Chains A and B, each alone.
Chain A
Amino acid sequence: MIALLMRDLRLATRAGGGFGLALAFFLIVVSLVPFGIGPQGGTLSLIAPGILWVGALLSCLLSLDRIFALDHEDGSLDLIATSPLPLEGVVAIKSLAHWLTTGLPLVLAAPVFGLLLHLPGQAYGTLMLSLLIGTPALSMLGAFGAAVTVGLRRGGLLLSLLVLPLYIPTLIFGAEAVRRSVAGGAIATPLVFQAAITLGVLALVPFAAAGALRINLR
C-alpha cells in the first residue's frame, strides 16, 4: 500500500507527471474572472467564495482521468488487481495520492487566490478549512468516476458529466461556509454537513469504485 502511494507520488512529481498543472489551471481560472466581470473590488469579494470553490472543483477534475487510465493502458492495473492488495485499498490509496498532488496544493494556495479576488480577511481560515474538508471527497468521487470510465478510450468528457453532479453537495456546503464567514455568520453547520459528506464518501465510495474497476477489468 505504502509502496503504491510512494510510486504514485513519484510518478506525479517526475517529468510528465502533471504535478502543478492543476494549480496553474486554478490560477488562470481565478485570474480570468476579473477580466470577465470587471475589476471592482466589491463585486469580486462578493463572488470570491463561489469562484474559488468552483475553480478548485474544476482543477481537481482536470487530473481525474489519470488516476486509473495510465495504469490501465500499461497493464499495471491488471497486475495490481492480481496482487495481494485489496482493490478497495488501491482505490483509497490512489485517491489519497491524487489528493496529495492536487487537493492539498489547492488548499495551501487558496489564500493567495483569495487575495486576487479581494476575499475579506476573516474568511481565509474558513476557505482553507472548507477546502481541506471538502477536497478529499472530490478526489474520492473522482476516483469513482475514473473507475467507471477507465475502459473507454475517450472517457474524459463522460467522466466530467458523471462526476460533476456528484460534486454538488460538497460545493454547496463548502461555498456556503465561506460565504457565511464573509458575512460574519456562524460557519459550523455547513462545515459539519460537509465533513459528514466527506466521511461518508471516504467510507463507502471505495467499494463502489472497486466494483466498477473489477467490471472494467474483465
Chain B
Amino acid sequence: MNPLVAVQGLAVARGGLRALEGVSFTLSAGQALVLRGPNGIGKTTLLRCLAGLQPVIEGDIAAAPESHAYAGHLDGLKPALTVTENLRFWASVFGQGGVGDAIARMNLGPLAARPAHMLSAGQKRRLGLARLLVTGRPVWLLDEPTVSLDSASVALFADVLRGHLAAGGAAVIATHIDLGLPEAQLLDLAPFRAGPTRRGTRAAGFNEAFA
C-alpha cells in the first residue's frame, strides 16, 4: 500500500540556519507519528515545512497534493463568530458539508451558538481541533494539539484521533504529552540536529551564505 507521506533526506531551516537535516520517514494510512525532541530543535519548523508553509532546503516530501490539514499553535478562530459559524467557514473553504458531526465529536454541542470570544482557552482549543474534522483531509499535522486541554478533553481528542486513523487517516504530532496512543510511532529528532554547514551545499539563508 502506498504511503500517504514519504519524507526523504529532508533539511529544514529556521532563522536562516539549518535546524534539522537528513530527516526521513514514511507514513501510511492508519499510522501516527509522534515527533519528540527538546525545545527549539525544530519540531514546529518541520511541521510547517510538511504543511508547505516553509520552503524545503534539501530532500523531498512526497505526498498527494492537498492531503494535509495543519493545526498550529493558534486556532484561527474569529472571536466575533459563533462556534458553528467558525466551523462552517472552514468546512466551506475545504469544500466539505455539515459541521454537526465535528461539533458532536469534540463535545461542543452546548457551546454551538456561543461567540468564540466567550470560550475558555481549552474550549477554543477544542474548537480549533474540531476544525480538523471538517477539512476532510487524511494527513493531520498537529503542533502541540493538547495545549490548555484538561485530561478529559485530551482523552476525547485521543478518541477522535484514533477514529481518524481507523478511517484511513494519518497524523504527524509534535507533543510532549502522552496522548494514550500506544500504537503511535516515535521519532526522536535529536539525531537529526543539523551540524556545521558543509561546503557546496545550498545556503538556507543569509546566515548560512555568510558563515
Contacts and interface: CB of A to CB of B under 8 A. Distances in A.
A16 B116 CA distance: 14
Given A3-B92, A83-B94, A218-B55, A74 B78 contact: yes
B80 A16 contact: yes
Contacts of B90: 79, 83
A48 B52 CA distance: 50
B95 interface: yes
A85 B93 CA distance: 7
B93 A80 contact: yes
A130 B74 CA distance: 42
Nearest to A3: B92
7 closest pairs, A vs B, by CB? A75-B74, A3-B92, A76-B76, A75-B76, A14-B80, A79-B76, A218-B54
B72 interface: yes
A2 B92 CA distance: 9
Given A218-B54, A218-B55, 8 more contacts: A2-B92, A3-B93, A10-B80, A14-B80, A74-B77, A79-B90, A84-B66, A217-B53
Interface string A16-38: 11000000000000000000000
Given A3-B93, A83-B94, A78 B74 contact: yes
B75 A75 contact: yes
Contacts of B88: 3
Given A7-B89, A82-B69, A218-B53, A74 B74 contact: yes
A218 to B, nearest CB: 4
Contacts of B93: 3-4, 80, 83-85
Contacts of A218: 48, 53-55
B53 A74 contact: no
B81 A7 contact: yes
Interface of B: 48, 51-55, 66, 68-81, 85, 88-90, 92-95, 131, 135
Contacts of B78: 7, 11, 74, 76
Q: Is the interface of A mostly helix, strand, loop or mixed?
A: helix
A197 to B, nearest CB: 32
A75 B73 contact: yes
B41 to A, nearest CB: 18
Interface residues of A, number: 25
A52 B73 CA distance: 44
Nearest to B116: A74
Contacts of A80: 76, 93
Nearest to B73: A75
B141 to A, nearest CB: 8
Interface in A62-111: 71, 73-76, 78-85
21 contacts: A7-B89, A10-B80, A10-B81, A74-B75, A74-B78, A75-B72, A75-B73, A75-B75, A76-B77, A78-B72, A78-B74, A78-B76, A79-B76, A79-B131, A80-B93, A81-B53, A82-B51, A82-B53, A82-B70, A83-B90, A217-B53
A82 B68 contact: yes
A79 B66 CA distance: 12
A3 B93 CA distance: 7
B72 to A, nearest CB: 6
A15 interface: yes
Contacts of A3: 88-89, 92-93
A203 to B, nearest CB: 24
Q: Which of A10, A11, A74, A79: most chain B Cβ within 10 A?
A: A79
